[in-house]
């Protein structure tokens, strides 16, 4: 196994956890700025009968896009840092 993969494994796990926390916070801020209930800043549950289809689906799409974008940025940053440390790309 390449040294870069060995170095990247724990970095990747830590970065994955970090990206989840960052994405969750970013989603809550955006959801609040879009004018949604401050008492419930989380995405509406799909089975919440008091939420509309539009609200449930748009929240899911927004949340998915944010999580995917943050994860890609954090993973790419981790891979770049690993290459700087080891001289090889961890892929």
pLDDT more than 90, % of the chain: 40
The yes-or-no verdict on residue 1 having pLDDT over 80 is no
Read off the tokens for 10.
């724990």
pLDDT score of 36 = 72
Taking the whole predicted model, whether its pTM rises above 0.85 is answered as no
Span 48-76, pLDDT tens digits? 998 899 989 999 999 999 999 999 999 89
For range 79-88, the mean pLDDT: 85
2, 88 contact by CB (below 8 A): yes
């Amino acid at each position: 196994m390449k040294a870069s993969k060995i170095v990247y494994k724990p970095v990747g796990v830590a970065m994955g956890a970090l990206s989840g926390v960052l994405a969750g916070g970013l989603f809550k801020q955006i959801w609040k700025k879009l004018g949604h209930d401050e008492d419930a800043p989380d995405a509406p549950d799909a089975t919440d009968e008091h939420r509309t289809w539009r609200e449930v689906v748009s929240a899911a799409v927004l949340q998915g896009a944010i999580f995917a974008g943050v994860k890609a940025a954090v993973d790419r940053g981790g891979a770049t840092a690993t290459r700087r440390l080891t001289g090889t790309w961890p892929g």
